[in-house]
Structures are given as structure tokens and as C-alpha cells.
Amino acid sequence: MKLPLTPLLFVLALVLPSFAAAQAPIPAPPELNAKGYLLIDFNTRQVLAESNADAPLEPASLTKIMTAYVVFRELAAGKIHLDDRVTVSEKAWRTGGSRMFIEVGTQVSVENLLKGMIIQSGNDASVALAEYVAGSVDAFANLMNDHARRLGMTNSHFTNPNGLPDPELYTTARDIARVAMAVIDEFPQYYSWYSTREFTYNNITQPNRNPLLRRDESADGVKTGYTQAAGYCLVGSAKRDEMRLVSVVMGSPSPNARAEASLALLNHGFRFYESHRLYPAAEVVQNLRLWFGEQEALPVGPATDVYVTIPRGSYAQLSARLEKAVELRAPIERGTRIGDLVIDFGKQELTRVPLVALVTVPEGGLLRQAKDSILRLF
């Protein structure tokens, strides 16, 4: 949904009129029985509700979101393949807790191990994948921590791929949301597995443990977790129309409590907020005057999709302005930052994204340069 733009004059910012209307205040998020929680808009990364979101907590099987992310990265790099056959070690076979029931000495495809870990929450599958990717669980944990640092997960530390209790294994609601969103964003071809209702391996069919898949038709992920120390945890994701929300609940006292808390968060976000893509990446927002080039008009647009999250029913309070950094003179390369596209909500700046040249324009010939030199005098 695009905000209209009128012609930009000289180097002044363009301001669209704002049609502000009185808005009823958004009620406080529901009180939840959890040690920490977070609700965030996937497209804008705007936090809609949180409590103790930066407190280090035991993640239990939420750890497997990071495990999957590391394996997905290895697949994307071509270092491993979905049809690779992994020989199951005794260590993987003996791993306790939830299992996909792989047998020692057998060979299982990477794809089946991933599905067994994602859908069935197999601890044994997690260890088998870790050993195949990195040679050992400890080496794989180092990869997990490397990716955590790269993703900005500053309050997390991983020691194993499955989340079994360890005093040095911890994360936060904000950090685990970050890697969950990275999975959704970077690997949509694999993310669909998180909404698979059941998986059969070795003639054993097990259901997906995520209760949101059975209680909310818009939910399509992500992962549950439980240990006695961690309590009941759940990372949820749901999409309605253009809006995707990600919820994190950690340390609930029961399976039903984590499900109810997750649904309460998601329903609060969808009920009281709305999300819009105002401008697609690389779409022409304005044609600006370019001096001394082969053409007079330079098409410019945002370098990335422009999304906003606003209180429901308040779209009319949005306004857009183009802030141009410099006078435009050829030659100019495609991708050169021209300035910023700024979106305001009422009198408050909501977001800004780089505004870039969408084409390359070389310097014009002598006639064009002479003409523009004269025009600039007036």
C-alpha cells in the first residue's frame, strides 16, 4: 500500500499532509505466566510486547532453531546436501529425551534428520546432524556461537545442539526471536517444514509438538521446548494478510500455559496493530532532476522494502518525505545513495530507509552540459 508522492522541488524535503485523528489508546498486553516473553513484527522488527526479554534463560529445545539455522547455512553454502547419508553414531543413538528413533550404524539422509529434529524434536537427530556438519558436538557448538554473534545474539551461549540442560547453555527471548526470524527470512524453502503436522520415520509416526498449529490456522511455526529447569517454552509465528508476528514464551509452568500465553500475545498483536508494505524495494518512488547527464530524470527508490507497523485504523496518520542529500550531477552509478525516504507517523519519525539511484546515468555530451549550465543560472 503506497503513500502518494508529489513532485520534489529543488533540495527541499517533500512532506505529505498528515490527517491525524484521535486514536483510542492500545491496551496493555495481557499478563502472562512466563519467565520472559516477546512479541515482534517480523517485517519491521518492531517490538509490540515484552517482559524480561533480555534475561538469560535456559532454552531447552528452542536450541534446535539455532541448530537448524546452522545446518541450513551449510546447505546454502553447498558444503552438505539434503540427500547426503549420515551414519548414526552411538552417541547420537544414546541421546536421551525426545527422539526420532534413529538406530546406531544406520544411514539417514540430512533431509530426514532435519525433519526429525524440526517436526519430532529429535535430540538424537540433532546430535547426528551436529557430528556430520562439524565432526563433533563441541565443534558444532562453536559454529552455533559464531552464528549467534553474527546475528547479534549478544546474550546467548550454546553448548549442544539439542538443548539438554547445561549450566553454560542459555539464551533470551529477544535472541531466540532473532534466529527464528533469520530462519523465516533466509530459508523459506525449509521453513515450511515447521508447519508439517506429523512425520514418520522407522515406521513410527510422531506429531508436531507445536500446539499453535492445531489452535490457530494462521500459525505456521516455530518450536516448543521443555526441561524441568527451563519450564515450558514456545516460539510461535503466524501470518495474517501482510502481517507476520513472532512470539516467544519462555519458562511457563505447563504446556497449556505456554500455548495460552502464545495465543494471547499473537491475538493482541493482530487485534491492535497492522502492518503495511508501503514501497517495494527498487520501485521508482520519484524521478529527480539530474544535471549534466545523458538524461534529465533520475529514477530513485528505496534500497529495501519499506514496511511500517502502526496502531490498527491509523493509516491516515502516515506521511512520507524524501530527504535528498546532495544536488544530483552525472555521472551517477546505480545504487548510489541519494538521500533517505522517511516515513512519519503524526509528528514522529517512524522509519527511514536509504533512497538510491535505480539506474546508471553517464555524463552527457557537450551540448547537454552547455544546456544544463545555462539552465542552472536561472
Catalytic one of 35, 61, 126, 324: 61
pLDDT digits (tens, 9 = 90+) for 204-253: 999 999 999 999 999 999 999 999 999 999 999 999 999 999 999 999 99
pLDDT digits (tens, 9 = 90+) for 127-173: 999 999 999 999 999 999 999 999 999 999 999 999 999 999 999 99
Distance CA 74, CA 17 (A): 49
Whether residue 347 lies in the annotated active site: no
Q: How many CA atoms does the CB half-sphere of 230 hold within 13 Å? A: 29
Whether residue 64 lies in the annotated active site: yes
Catalytic one of 35, 64, 223, 324: 64
- pLDDT of 11 reads 30
Domain edges within the chain: 36-252, 278-377
CA-to-CA dists, residue 341 to 3, 71, 280, angstroms = 11, 37, 12
Distance CA 14, CA 110 (A): 53
CATH of domain 36-252: 3.40.710.10
The class (CATH top level) of 278-377 is: mainly beta
Whether residue 2 lies in the annotated active site: no
Catalytic one of 35, 89, 115, 121: 121
Distance CA 249, CA 312 (A): 24
Distance CA 112, CA 196 (A): 13
pLDDT classification of 19: cutoffs 50, 70, 90: very low
Distance CA 246, CA 49 (A): 11
